Structure formats: C-alpha cells, structure tokens
Amino acid sequence: MESNNSFLLPTSYLAPIGYYAVLLQNENCETEQYEHFVKQSIRNRCDIYGANGKLTLSIPKQRKASSKTQIKDIKIAYHHPWQKEHWKSICSAYRSSSYFEFFEDLFVPFYEKRETFLLDFNLKLQEVIFKCLQIKDTSILTQSYQKQSTSNDYRNATFQIKNQTKYHQVFENKCGFISNLSIIDLLFNKGPESADYLNNLDIRIEI
C-alpha cells in the first residue's frame, strides 16, 4: 500500500462491509463523483444474505445515460418497482435479525420516495448508515477527475476482506458464513457493536 494515507472510493449502494471499514479507519477519504459509470459494480449493486444464500440487489439507471456519463449525472430509472422489490427482499432477509426493527424506520423512506440521481441516493443512504454506526462521516466528494490519483485508489476495488471475523448471520445454518456482504447485514445482525467490528477489521483490500 502507498504511504499516502488518503483514500479514493467509488460511490456505492449499501456498500460492502470492507468499504465501511476503510471509511471508519481513515479520516481522509474522497468519494469519486466525476468518473464514468461502471456497469455491474458496487455503485448501484449490493449483496445481502437471503434465505437461499447471497442475493444481489441492483438499482436500474435510465438507459439514455451512456457509459460516458459522469456518475454524478446518472439518473435512477423507475420503469419497474425496484424499490418495492428491494425492500421486500431486505425484509425477508433480515426481519428476524436482532436489530432490524431498531433501524427499519431509517431505511424505509429510501424505498418509498423517489430520488432522481444515483449519487444523491447513495450519499443519503450513507448518512443514515453513519447515523446507525453513531460515527461522524469525514469523507468528502472529489472536486475533479484524476485518471492517476496520488491517493490509495480504490475506485475499482471489490472491497473483499481476507479472513473476515465471523459474526452471527440469520441463515448461516443453511449456507454458512458469507463474508463482506452489504453493511446492512452487519448492522442488522450486530447493531451497536458494528462500529467496533469495522474498526478492528484488517483492511488490506485487493485492488
């Protein structure tokens, strides 16, 4: 890893646990808002633990937005009821978890109200997640695009963590422990212990 202690991250929909470990363990993090949209990435996708194992939820974007559209200008599509589908899946996955009911009301509005831009949606969700973690978010948005960054460039990282410490998951008796799912998997299962868990993770992320 570079000696530079700043980190450049992509925006993410209900980001992976590894992503939040980086955010919590480093005060100097920037979220990229000028890159081009990257398909099939954490920018508009997250993985949760469903009854049959890992389940990917994806936010559709408006098709007229080309691959050269900056991430800050990507608009969310509402041609099918993805919000209803995502929330139904989240409820099915975590309704019986220890802390779902404690945090539920904070997340419901994101699946009822329509946000125009993907970046705004992700950032507002991130605010809620930091509220749940009871931690101040010190990350900022980039002010320009840099093809070669002097930061630790995690824009294309998958945020997989090696040897992730296990914690109880709702369906682990069926499918075993699944590592590095969405941050909500950690929040709904560990609640107030989540921040300490993230701060203690080894974040040697593969880029």
Three state DSSP letters for 74-87: CEECCCCCHHHHHH
Convert the pLDDT of each residue in 156-199 to its tens digit: 998 988 889 999 999 999 999 999 999 999 999 999 999 999 99
Tell the residue number behind the tokens 């995690």, with chain if given.
154
* Predicted pLDDT at 67: 61
> Exposure pattern of 86-116 as b/e (b: 16+ CB <10 Å)?
bbebbeebbeebebbeebeeebeebbeeebe
Three-state secondary-structure class, residue 124: helix
Convert the pLDDT of each residue in 153-168 to its tens digit: 999 998 988 889 999 9
Whether 189 and 157 have beta carbons less than 8 Å apart is answered as no
Both tokens assigned to 18: 């590894």
Count how many Cα atoms sit within 13 Å of the Cα of residue 37 in the half-sphere of its side chain: 25
Angle at 15 (CA atoms; ends 11, 20), nearest 5 degrees: 100
Q: What is the mean pLDDT of residues 2-29?
A: 89
Count how many Cα atoms sit within 13 Å of the Cα of residue 53 in the half-sphere of its side chain: 2
* Predicted pLDDT at 15: 97
* Predicted pLDDT at 192: 95
Whether 70 and 79 have beta carbons less than 8 Å apart is answered as no
Convert the pLDDT of each residue in 71-110 to its tens digit: 999 999 999 999 999 999 999 999 999 999 999 999 999 9
Would you give the DSSP letter of residue 108? Answer: G
Calpha distance 83→13 (Å, rounded): 13
Calpha distance 136→188 (Å, rounded): 19
Percent of the chain with pLDDT over 70: 95
Please give the mean pLDDT across all residues of the chain.
Answer: 92
